[in-house]
Amino acid sequence: MLLLLTASAGMAGCYYLQAANGQWQVMQKRVPIGEVIDDDATAGQLAERLRLVREARQFSIDELA
């Protein structure tokens, strides 16, 4: 029983380390939304959606504090 508990605790630790590492990688690869919108390689539909996201964010800052 103790062995099972120890093994499961170790696996949970591995899960959290893997999750933290994945989150770190996402944060390192982020690009400012304005750069993505201005990039010629960005599809028109995606750029339009990102503009809408930017407007919604600004609305929430201005109107909803």
Instruction: Profile the chain (65 residues) by mean pLDDT over runs of 10 residues.
Output: 58 80 94 95 96 96 90
In this prediction, residue 42 carries a pLDDT of 94
Closest among 52, 51, 55, 58 to 36, alpha carbons compared: 51
**Residue 32 burial by Cβ neighbours in a 10 Å radius (0-12, 13-18, 19+):** exposed
Q: Which two tokens stand for residue 4?
A: 């099972």
In this prediction, residue 7 carries a pLDDT of 58
Rounded to two decimals, what is the model's pTM?
A: 0.61
In this prediction, residue 10 carries a pLDDT of 62
